[in-house]
Amino acid sequence: MSVSVDSNFSHKIWQETELSKMVEGGVPFPMITDAGGRIGSLYGVYDQEAGVDVRGRFIIDPEGIVQAMEVLTPPVGRNVSELIRQVKAYQHHQKTGEVMPSGWQPGKPTLKPGPGLAGKVWEVWKPDKAF
């Protein structure tokens, strides 16, 4: 879902006039209003002086635990591909217990945590695999 201090009407217009032209059918998740910044305050992204939620994204697992967060100032847009990569990595970890090295992509090698891995990560993962 997306959350902002904008009204439901603003979200509807944004979806119809902009997002639906970028993503066929518009974004496939709800956009909710955070009037007064209560949700943004809980996540530390509400700018009370400006009355807005600062750009941020949070990956929250099924148990409600924040697994990742990114907060950016308005001039810099978020990277949707990176968000999707991270969600897939967390899902893979939940299924397998494996951990993903820097830049991991689905299908690439993972790391199996345990005492035998200490001092041997370099045998499994090299920096050139991150790109």
The mean of the pLDDT values for the chain is 89
The pLDDT > 90 percentage for the chain reads 43
DSSP symbols for 54-122: PEEEEEE-TTS-EEEEEEE-TTS---HHHHHHHHHHHHHHHHH--B--TT--TTS--B--SGGGTT-HH
pTM of the model as a whole: 0.77
Mind listing the pLDDT tens digit for each residue in 28-53?
888 899 999 999 999 999 999 999 89
